[in-house]
Amino acid sequence: MSWGFGINESRFADAKERIREAKAAYDFDQVGGDEAREQANAAEKALVALIETETVVGPGQGFRATLGGHSNPGHEPREGWANDTITVSLSQV
C-alpha cells in the first residue's frame, strides 16, 4: 500500500529527531503494515545519509523532506497494483 510523510522546516541539528518523530506519528498499520514500515526505515536511513553529506543542507540551515513509497505484501509484484517503490526528497529552506 502507498505511504508517505514529511518534515516541514526543520533545522540541520534536529534532523534525526524530526525524522523519527514524523515516522512515529504515521499509522503504518493502516497502510501496508510491516512492508511499509520496512520501506520507511530504509527511506529514513537514506535521508539521514543525504543530510550528513552536507551537500543540500548544512549546519545552521533549515530543510524540508518528504518520504514515501508503495509496498506490496511480501514485497512481491501483484497484478493490478503498483510495484514497490521508495522516494526521498530533501530541499534546503
Model-level pTM? 0.89
What are the pLDDT digits (tens) for 11-23? 888 888 999 999 9
Query: Residues 65-90: pLDDT tens digits?
Result: 999 999 998 888 999 989 999 999 99
d(CA 58, CA 71): 32
CB count, 10 Å around CB of 40?
24
What 8-state DSSP symbol labels residue 54? T
Sort 42 into a burial class: Cβ within 10 Å, 0-12 / 13-18 / 19+.
middle
